[in-house]
Amino acid sequence: MLSGLLNSLLWFLGILLFINYIEATTATATFGFTNQTDQEALLAIKDLISEDPFNSLSSWNSSLQFCSWQGVTCGRRHRRVTSLNLSSLELAGSLSPHIGNLTFLRVIDLSRNRFHHIFPPEVGQLFRLRYLSLANNSFQGELPSTLGVCSNLVFLNLYGNNFRGKIPSALGSLSRLRWLNLVSNHFTGAIPPSFGNLSSMNLGISNIVFQQILWYGSSTALQYLIHQFSFLCGQPINRSHDIGLTLPNLQNLYLGTNQFFGHIPKSIVNLSSLIDIDLAYNSLTGRVPNNLGNLQNLETINFGGNPLGDENTSDLTFLTSLTNCTNLREVWFFENHLRGVLPASVANLSTNLYWLTLGTNYITGDIPVEIENLKNLAYLAFPENMLTGRLPDSIGKLSKLQELHIYTNKISGNIPSSFGNLSGILRLNLADNFLEGTIPVSLANYSQLEGLELSYNQLSGVIPEKLAAIDSLIGLFLALNNLTGPLPSQLGNARNLNELDISENKLSGEIPRSIESCVMLENLNMEGNFFEGTIPSSFKKLRSIRVLNLARNNLSGQIPKFLGELPLLGYLNLSVNSFDGEVPTGGVFNNASAFSVAGNDKLCGGIKALQLHECPKQRQQNGFPRKVVILVSSIALFLFLLLASVCAVIHSKKRNKSGPSLVSPLEKKYQRVSYSELARATGGFSSTNIIGDGKYGTVYQGILGSDDQVAVKVFKLQQRGASNTFMAEINALRNIRHRNLVRIVNSCSTIDFKGDDFKALIMEFMSNGSLESWLHASSAESEDFKNLSLLQRINIATDLALALDYLHNQCETTVVHCDLKPSNILLDNDLTAHVGDFGLAKILLAALGESFSTESSSICIRGTIGYVAPEYGMGGEASTHGDVYSYGILLLEMFTGKRPIDSMFTGEFNLHSFVKAALPDQVMEIIGPLLSNDIQEEAQTRRNGPRGSRSINIGKVKECLASILQVGLRCSTDLPSERMDIGNVPSELHKITKILSNR
């Protein structure tokens, strides 16, 4: 019995050995590959790896058998490579085609490295391959169709590469595939029809990475098929290949952020198993199907970012249909074109609903009081609509609410005190409405509040003490209201406060010392109030402060030197107060574009760029009583003024026929400049000294006096409008001073040697010429062409925004430049930008409801094509909005390197739409080649630099570039009312600068 059993066992083992031999022999005979082949293939792979910072492949040598090399796993029987795992080793180089010789491979994981060039098509020879991950590399070119031969593939992850072209239709034949991720690549075209064969899969095409796609459902069916395309075009549902018929088991449909167009088909309800549907950020139009309620299993619906809607009817009937979806948890309809009155049925949606957003539409009517039925809501948002009426008290019964956003509507009345019952609220945003009354004291009940935004309303009264003392508070925004009284002394309890904006109110009193406890504070804006006293010495403890704006208050005393010692302070505005004494130097005070002290007439000293008079030296009073000194000084001042008046009268009587010399208040060094002096200064107005030439004038470089370099703008008086342009610049610059405006040294109005009229402006000389010469190599000024770095461009853009903010918002009378363009931007030795050429400037006397211009009201239409705001072409009056538009176009030009009149822009396709279509994924494709090269060179320099040096984060640079261009887009929208407030631009750019400086 035992011997029989032993014989059977030996027979069975013999059969196994025979099968193993046959398998090995067959494999070798069929493919000609052996263990030696595997070793040679691995060494070939190593040869093409150019960087191995951790020496991870040091074991790949003849001293060890290859199955013991790092990342290599072999089968026990045949000792052939079955797994190659080189994940997260920061390897760089190409992937050798010899990988196709590792025919026993089942697993390849090369994720989180820096492999580049093409992905070898020889991988198609690996018929045993089940797992392939190339995530977070830089593979380029088209995805090889040979992957479709790998019929055993279960997992394919190509996330975060640079694959281009169409998706191979061969992928539709991978019948065993359970996971596919093509996110963050550059695929184009439509979904391959072969994907319709994957009827057991769930289909999703999305690049919304925060959706956190995870494994989901059974292990025998692909639950998520995720794609991310930069340009995935075509109608979402092909009539001949209806997804509702071919994928009846589909549970999750993600088609977000592509270029699908057309209407949403009603047949979508045939997908009866749908749980989640996401069609956000496409170009879908028409009405939202009103039969969505047939999707009984629906939990999430996201149609945001599509121009959906029908202007002739109400678009919100679908909300009533959705009340049948009892499992509904998330509803996203934002940035659509939906119109109509908000139906009361919105309150009848599923009681499981925890996320509801209908923001940025054209929804009217009141918020229904029945909203309290949605008792599980955690997020409720109706922002940027046209809702009216009052805020319902019933919102206060939504005890689970964490975020409430109803900003930018037409809501009126008081803030209900019942809102204080929302004890779990994290963020409350009611800004930009018509709310009135006081801020309810009950809001201080919020124990977890992180952000409160009530700006742009009509709120009055005081800021509740306890509200400003919430420890969890990160951002408090109360700007542009009618708030009165002091800033709460308990503010110091808000130790996590990061941003505080109380600007444009009627707050008064002294700045509380307790603010020193807000050590996390980065942005403090107190502009436009009635604060008085000095800047508290406690401010020196605000070591995190980056932006400090105390402009337009009644603050006095000396400017504290410790402000220059705050390590992160990058923007300081102390303008229009009553400060006196010496302007400090050091820190922020060394950068003229980073701070403003304009409108403080008693200041002296500071850096040279301020052009303030020197501070008087302190002298001993030799024991004289203070009153005597004051009396003597007063008498001396009176006598001086009397003598000056007499001299002025005598001088006015002696002026000759050559005409008056119009002296600018900005500079009195050259009070008498004759035509002959200007001729000598410019070499007889020699063509070799021309540094700029425009319609109304020619600019010459010259030496005035002994060694003072100046720029002389001689007006072409034969040109119609030139004389008026001369007067426009005089009037525009008569009473304005700013570090980012070209200063007028003097002006001259006389006759030349021929007896002809002569008018000229003598200006500061800018050694680095115009911005035009730096942006465009083809410029006539570009003989010594140089490139501007990314940070230099941002600094220049910040300078220009500060200049416009001053002209628009801080001058006694608003000045509109009307011709902002690169040739009118001049750069000094430090590449600080100065706005010049105010020949088309228009002064708006807003307080009187009148305007002054040297020419007709249509003067601004004669600005420069490409930079002129579209409303000017339709007869619109000059306004600050027009300057903002020009600034936006200029900003886009600075970073794309393309002029707004480039030949590529025709019809309705312009620089604005060119940039808008590319954001955010293709930002590196649209920036100028010089800037792109500069970024790449910096990255390479840091990569090759000394060990331990900080490497550049290209991803962060891309995000910053996208943010900058987004500012340009917001400034250059067609509708003036939608353009960004120029006063907000500097702080936006400053944040970006700080991010890049710390990259």
Bridge-based pairing of strands 204-205 and 225-227 is parallel
Residue 933 or 843, more confident: 933
pLDDT at position 864: 79
Average of pLDDT values for 15-38? 53
663: confidence class by pLDDT, cuts 50, 70, 90:
very low
pLDDT at position 841: 64
SS (H, E, C) 362-406: EEECCCCHHHHHCCCCCEEECCCCCCCCECCHHHHHCCCCCEEEC
Most confident among 156-165, 478-487, 946-955, 975-984 (mean pLDDT):
478-487
Residue 666 or 588, more confident: 588
Residue 461 or 909, more confident: 461
Residues 463-610, CATH architecture: Alpha-Beta Horseshoe (3.80)
Distance CA 33, CA 860 (A): 77
Q: Are 513 and 536 in contact (CB under 8 A)?
A: yes
Whether the pTM exceeds 0.85: the reply is: no
pLDDT at position 499: 93
pLDDT in tens, 417-449: 999 999 889 999 999 999 999 999 999 888 889
pLDDT in tens, 676-716: 788 888 888 887 778 777 777 888 888 876 667 788 888 88
What are the backbone angles phi and psi of residue 562, rounded to the nearest 5°?
Answer: -65, -15
Whether the pLDDT of residue 942 is over 90: the answer is no
* Tokens found for residue 505: 């109110």
Distance CA 44, CA 121 (A): 16
Domain boundaries for CATH 1.10.510.10 within the chain: 783-997
156: confidence class by pLDDT, cuts 50, 70, 90:
confident
DSSP secondary structure code for residue 266 in this structure: G
User: Alpha carbon of 167 to those of 143, 171, 530: distances in Å?
Assistant: 7, 8, 63
Nearest Cα to 713, choosing from 759, 752, 668, 750?
759
Worst-scoring range by mean pLDDT, 177-181, 188-192, 500-504? 188-192
pLDDT at position 779: 40
Q: What is the CATH number of domain 783-997?
A: 1.10.510.10
Nearest Cα to 91, choosing from 132, 139, 131?
139
Whether the pLDDT of residue 970 is over 90: the answer is yes
Cis peptide before 929 (omega within 30 of 0): no
- Helices 790-805 and 880-896, axial angle in degrees (round to 10): 170
pLDDT at position 265: 79
Choice among 38, 799, 819, 837 that is catalytic: 819
Burial call 655-677: b when 16+ CB within 10 Å, e when fewer: eeeeeebbbbebbeebeebeeeb
Distance CA 103, CA 124 (A): 10
Distance CA 264, CA 288 (A): 7
Domain 656-764 part of CATH 3.30.200.20: yes
Q: Are 252 and 206 in contact (CB under 8 A)?
A: no
Share of the chain above pLDDT 90, in %: 36
pLDDT in tens, 500-553: 999 999 999 999 988 888 888 999 999 999 999 999 988 988 988 999 999 999
Distance CA 984, CA 346 (A): 36
Whether the pLDDT of residue 29 is over 50: the answer is no
Which residues are paired to 363 by β-bridges? 340
Nearest Cα to 844, choosing from 867, 825, 816, 869?
816
Residues whose CB falls within 8 Å of the CB of residue 326, separated by 6 or more in sequence, listed in order = 296, 350, 352
Whether the pLDDT of residue 732 is over 50: the answer is yes
Sign, CA torsion 160/162/167/171: negative
pLDDT at position 947: 46
Nearest Cα to 660, choosing from 749, 562, 533?
749
Worst-scoring range by mean pLDDT, 44-53, 266-275, 453-462, 607-616? 266-275
pLDDT at position 34: 66
pLDDT at position 783: 43
- Please name the fold of domain 27-225: 3.80.10
Average of pLDDT values for 109-131? 92
pLDDT at position 425: 93
Residue 933 or 783, more confident: 933
222: confidence class by pLDDT, cuts 50, 70, 90:
very low
The answer to whether 819 is a known catalytic residue is: yes
pLDDT at position 313: 72
Most confident among 308-317, 596-605, 950-959 (mean pLDDT):
596-605
DSSP secondary structure code for residue 137 in this structure: S
Whether the pLDDT of residue 72 is over 90: the answer is yes
- Hey, what amino acid is at 502? I
Distance CA 261, CA 242 (A): 16
Nearest Cα to 828, choosing from 611, 672, 566, 575?
611
Share of the chain above pLDDT 70, in %: 77
pLDDT at position 212: 24
* Secondary element (H or E) of residue 633: helix 626-653
Answer left, alpha or beta for residue 890, where phi above 0 means left and psi between -120 and 50 means alpha. alpha
Q: Are 878 and 947 in contact (CB under 8 A)?
A: no
Nearest Cα to 320, choosing from 298, 342, 338, 336?
342
Distance CA 90, CA 54 (A): 8
Whether the pLDDT of residue 205 is over 50: the answer is no
Distance CA 483, CA 458 (A): 9
Distance CA 934, CA 888 (A): 23
Average of pLDDT values for 767-787? 66
Contacts for 679-687: CB closer than 8 Å, 24+ residues apart? 679/753, 681/710, 681/712, 682/712, 685/714
Distance CA 271, CA 294 (A): 9
What are the backbone angles phi and psi of residue 569, rounded to the nearest 5°?
Answer: -65, 120
Average of pLDDT values for 852-858? 38
Which residues are paired to 173 by β-bridges? none
Whether the pLDDT of residue 861 is over 50: the answer is no
Worst-scoring range by mean pLDDT, 176-185, 210-219, 597-606, 708-717? 210-219
Residue 342 or 746, more confident: 342
Task: Give the rounded distance of the alpha carbon of 530 from its chain centre.
Answer: 33
pLDDT in tens, 799-854: 999 889 888 887 767 888 888 888 888 888 878 888 887 666 666 643 333 343 43
416: confidence class by pLDDT, cuts 50, 70, 90:
very high
pLDDT at position 328: 95
Average of pLDDT values for 114-138? 92
pLDDT at position 889: 93
Domain boundaries for CATH 3.80.10.10 within the chain: 27-225, 463-610
pLDDT at position 672: 56
Whether the pLDDT of residue 797 is over 80: the answer is yes
Helices vs strands, H then E, count in the chain: 15, 53
Domain boundaries for CATH 3.30.200.20 within the chain: 656-764
| 824 CB burial (10 A radius; 0-12, 13-18, 19+) | buried
Q: Where would I find the H helices in 112-242?
A: none
476: confidence class by pLDDT, cuts 50, 70, 90:
very high
Name the residue with tokens 């001086």.
640
pLDDT in tens, 386-397: 999 999 999 999
Answer left, alpha or beta for residue 385, where phi above 0 means left and psi between -120 and 50 means alpha. beta
pLDDT at position 247: 54
200: confidence class by pLDDT, cuts 50, 70, 90:
very low
Q: C-alpha dihedral over 815, 821, 822, 826, to 10 degrees?
A: -20
Whether the pLDDT of residue 226 is over 60: the answer is no
